[in-house]
Amino acid sequence: MQPTTQAPEEKTETLTESLAGLAYVLVIGLFLLTFLFQNMFIPSGSMEKTLLIGDHVMVDRITLSPRTAWMPLEHQRPVQHGDVIVFVKPAGRDPIPDMILVKRAIGLPGDRIHLEHGILYRNGERVDEPQISMPDEQNPYETARDDFPRDLEGIQADASARNAAIWALELPDHLQNGELIVPPNTVFAMGDNRVGSLDSRFWGFVPQANIIGRPLFVYWSFITPSENEQKTGAAQAIGWVVHEATHFFSETRWKRTFHRIL
């Protein structure tokens, strides 16, 4: 008769071990979201149709940041023409402080920029931009917007009306032969919804130090009315969260999940 072997006792995880594992995951996640990535909600249509109102995007905070010695393996590079960038709006250019915006990098230091009836010309050459909106019957042609910077008086008047008086004073110093010259350490940025975007045409250059990163992909997109941007009350915010929860499946734009931003 052979002796019976006792089955090994199954070890159960203690509460302390479970909490330690959860804390580990939270610390790693917090590190990633603090130093490497950041999530961002798109509240306006200034980048349509590249980005839609209600898109939630993951922002890469490493690639466009200054190179650091503590992380030599990071992939970093300067801003390039056509990059979609996330940045803090320059101080004194808007009554709302520390506004975070997303636009496309159109002009880099030394570039000569101008528009002709909504068409971008950079350094004397027409730029092909199939993703942008153009003046039409719903958005009629405006000289200050679509022939930038030809109508200097119109641009300055518009800037002053938008509390962007600094830009109204600075703009003439950056003009040469009817074109805008982008100064060092700055970027000229515009929205893809060119007829509905308040961008560098209206408040000026983006200091490269203000750039946070670039959006990589849409991780969730929910049908959101444009007027939601104006609703800032606590009751309205709670009501919208309830709406998202109860309409999650029916109003999520599933086809935009993991949509890459170019």
Strands 179-181 and 186-190: unpaired
Place of tokens 């200050």: 144
pLDDT, residue 27, reads: 53
pLDDT, residue 31, reads: 47
**Chain CA centroid to CA 169, Å:** 27
Segment-wise mean pLDDT, segments of 10 residues, the chain, 262 residues: 56 61 53 67 94 96 72 75 94 69 98 97 97 93 94 85 82 95 98 95 93 95 88 84 94 96 95
**Contacts with 136 (C-beta within 8 Å, 6 or more apart), sequence order:** 195
pLDDT, residue 7, reads: 53
Residue 93 DSSP class: S
pLDDT, residue 94, reads: 63
Place of tokens 């939601």: 228
Return the CATH number of 39-224, one of 2.10.109.10, 3.40.190.10, 3.90.1170.50, 3.40.50.970.
2.10.109.10
CB 231 within 8 A of CB 243: no
Using a 10 angstrom Cβ sphere, with 0-12 exposed, 13-18 middle and 19 or more buried, the burial of residue 246 is exposed
pLDDT, residue 228, reads: 83
pLDDT, residue 26, reads: 53
pLDDT, residue 6, reads: 57
* Helices (H), ranges, 57-204: 143-146, 152-161, 165-170, 200-203
Domain boundaries, the chain: 39-224
In 3D, which of 147, 146, 169 has the Cα closest to residue 157? 169
pLDDT, residue 90, reads: 85
